[in-house]
Amino acid sequence: MTEVKPELHTSLSPALLDLYHLEHAVVVIIDVLRATSTIATALSNGARCVIPVDSVSKCIQLGKQIEGITAGERDGKIAEGLSHGNSPFEYPREFIANKTLVLTTTNGTKLLHMALEKGASRIVTGSFCNLDSVCRFLLAEKRPVILGCAAWKDRVNIEDALFAGAVIHNVKDDFSINCDSSQIAETLYQSGKKDLFEFMKRNRASHFRRLMGFGLEKDIRYCLSLNQADVLPFYEDGKLVVQKSK
Amino acid sequence: MTEVKPELHTSLSPALLDLYHLEHAVVVIIDVLRATSTIATALSNGARCVIPVDSVSKCIQLGKQIEGITAGERDGKIAEGLSHGNSPFEYPREFIANKTLVLTTTNGTKLLHMALEKGASRIVTGSFCNLDSVCRFLLAEKRPVILGCAAWKDRVNIEDALFAGAVIHNVKDDFSINCDSSQIAETLYQSGKKDLFEFMKRNRASHFRRLMGFGLEKDIRYCLSLNQADVLPFYEDGKLVVQKSK
């Protein structure tokens, strides 16, 4: 008997998430520049957990209540009232180990909360920093998968689609993929994988240009390199924690 | 003084159209398999006009009122009560010349009506069959452009994105393109342009497989070949007519 493979779909924007069935599925939240890269990095460096919140005011309030590190940016600057920004380089082990990071981001947090509301069975976060962990988890779970790109204010972006393509490239033999968005994402990754930074530059990726304008080339290069923080952030009870390998 | 180039954006799904400013813009409705290919073909073969309607009942009613040819499919068959289907091969000159085609399609018509409601300045339809006419028009108009993919029930599809990429490939020097969706579409086209049919097949494009299942390989091959019906369907007063070159 042939084994029935679980389905894999890619949602290129939160505005398209409604088209997919999230119940019983693993949803991978993808916000490569920089939320999900920073989450993997903080957890990899020993943060106790990361609590994603959807506004600066909630971040401030919760930060006080639990004595957590508050972090978030608006327009490329640390948001007023918070102590840290979105750069993964702000969270080395000597700073973040055993602390709780309360992080507010716009696109990634919105998508995570949408996935929760729509009844996703498992929610994890993905970025090039933890590509291998994400792929291992998806292969082990053997459930339907939705690769959810956080995009930018609902506009499709290159970097999140590229990461979806990288995951697909790695796991496709174990899934049934009847999804044009997934095929497009993988084609994109095939075109760019030799040098993701150069690919983003050549294609004038909008968020690439925004961050370059803020002088953040180092952040971009880090966020586009593979498995620098190879843990699996797993969402449970309102927070992201490291999922231990089975 | 440097000339300010008009902006070009690609909306990969009707569900994303709201993200773009349509006022003052040319909107290109793209529904490669097969609505916009069939529209170009019928007009190229001398149809007086094509009237797009959004339901079978409206198609039947209008067909009677104006003695037009009624056409449309549901689930790969001519819809009950209509006389013709969606295949471009049903509309040779000896049949369609000087006649009015009343066409009902789901995805393309929906998008066209959305573009109207949102105040698009000009609406034209595009497909590989009339690629050159579309590009010439966009270059002559010098207005902002939205390439609107009709997709499939809001799910992004490969063929419409490919055509958006083909347009971008041809006109990009004359537009300001800060749009990741457009870059993704052009990358896709670059990957597939050598042999669009093979590319669709290799990537298991969902609509390709659906139509192949109906035995429509000939239709697909025609819809993916360039400039076989090189006219510009232009929407005015509720119908698509051939726009004469300026």
Span B14-53, pLDDT tens digits: 999 999 999 999 999 999 999 999 999 999 999 999 999 9
- The CA distance from A45 to B141, in Å, is 55
Q: Could you tell me the fold of the domain covering A8-228?
A: putative 2-phosphosulfolactate phosphatase (3.90.1560)
**CB < 8 Å from B in window 195-214 of A:** 203-207, 209
Name the band, by pLDDT with cuts 50, 70 and 90, for residue B245: low
Sketch the domain layout of chain A as residue ranges: 8-228
- How confident is the model at residue B75, as a pLDDT? 77
Of B187, B176, B143, the residue nearest B12 (C-alpha): B187
Q: Is the dihedral of CA A165, A170, A171, A176 positive or negative?
A: positive
Contacts of B209 in chain A (CB under 8 A): 178
On the question of pLDDT at B73 being above 90, the answer is: no
Q: Which residues pair with B212 in a beta bridge?
A: none
Answer whether B125's CB lies under 8 Å from B137's CB.
no
**CB < 8 Å from A in window 19-48 of B:** 19
Q: Number of helices (H) and strands (E) in chain B: give both, helices first.
A: 10, 11
CB contact under 8 A, A12 and B156: yes
- How confident is the model at residue A19, as a pLDDT? 97
The verdict on A177 touching B (C-beta cutoff 8 Å) is yes
pLDDT, one tens digit per residue, over A28-70 is 999 999 999 999 999 999 999 999 999 999 999 999 999 999 9
CB contact under 8 A, B156 and A180: yes
ipTM above 0.90, yes or no: yes
- The CA distance from A102 to A113, in Å, is 15
- The CA distance from A188 to A175, in Å, is 19
Q: Which two tokens stand for residue B14?
A: 């009707």
Q: What average pLDDT does range B81-107 have in this prediction?
A: 96
Q: Could you tell me the fold of the domain covering B8-234?
A: putative 2-phosphosulfolactate phosphatase (3.90.1560)
Mean pLDDT rounded to a whole number for chain B = 95
Contacts of A154 in chain B (CB under 8 A): 16, 19
CB contact under 8 A, B158 and A180: yes
Nearest chain A CA: its distance from B18 CA (Å): 10
Nearest chain A CA: its distance from B7 CA (Å): 14
**Cβ neighbourhood burial of B23 (10 Å; 0-12, 13-18, 19+):** exposed
DSSP code, position B84: B
- C-alpha distance from residue A109 to each of A92, B235, B246 (Å): 22, 41, 50
Closest-CA residue of A relative to B209 is: A178
The residue whose two tokens read 């991978």 is: A28
Interface contacts (A, B; CB < 8 Å): 89
**Residue to substitute from A9, A114, A175, A187, interface B, most B β-carbons within 10 A:** A187
Closest-CA residue of B relative to A207 is: B180
The residue whose two tokens read 């085609």 is: B101
The verdict on B183 touching A (C-beta cutoff 8 Å) is yes
Closest-CA residue of A relative to B204 is: A178
Name the band, by pLDDT with cuts 50, 70 and 90, for residue B74: confident
Point out the residue among B153, B191, B206 whose CB comes nearest to the CB of A187: B191
Nearest chain A CA: its distance from B45 CA (Å): 32
Residues of chain A with pLDDT under 70: 1-2, 245-246
- The CA distance from B14 to B128, in Å, is 20
pLDDT, one tens digit per residue, over B197-208 is 999 999 999 999
CB contact under 8 A, B155 and A187: no
- The CA distance from A115 to A148, in Å, is 9
The verdict on B190 touching A (C-beta cutoff 8 Å) is yes
Closest-CA residue of B relative to A157 is: B180
Name the band, by pLDDT with cuts 50, 70 and 90, for residue B244: confident
- The CA distance from A42 to A37, in Å, is 9
CA angle, A92 then A97 then A100, to 5°: 105
- C-alpha distance from residue A104 to each of A6, A57, A83, A157 (Å): 33, 9, 12, 20
Contacts of A13 in chain B (CB under 8 A): 16
CB contact under 8 A, B161 and A154: no
Name the band, by pLDDT with cuts 50, 70 and 90, for residue B246: low
CB contact under 8 A, A206 and B179: yes
DSSP codes, A145-200: EEEEE-TBTTB--HHHHHHHHHHHHHHGGGSB---HHHHHHHHHHHHHTT-HHHHH
CB contact under 8 A, A154 and B19: yes
The residue whose two tokens read 């919140």 is: A53
pLDDT, one tens digit per residue, over B158-175 is 999 999 999 999 999 999
The two beta strands, B122-126 and B26-30, are parallel
Mean pLDDT rounded to a whole number for chain A = 95
Closest-CA residue of A relative to B192 is: A187
Answer whether B26's CB lies under 8 Å from B124's CB.
yes
Contacts of A19 in chain B (CB under 8 A): 15, 153-155
- The CA distance from A104 to A68, in Å, is 13
- Strand locations in B14-158, DSSP E? 26-30, 49-53, 69-71, 73-74, 77-78, 100-104, 122-126, 145-149
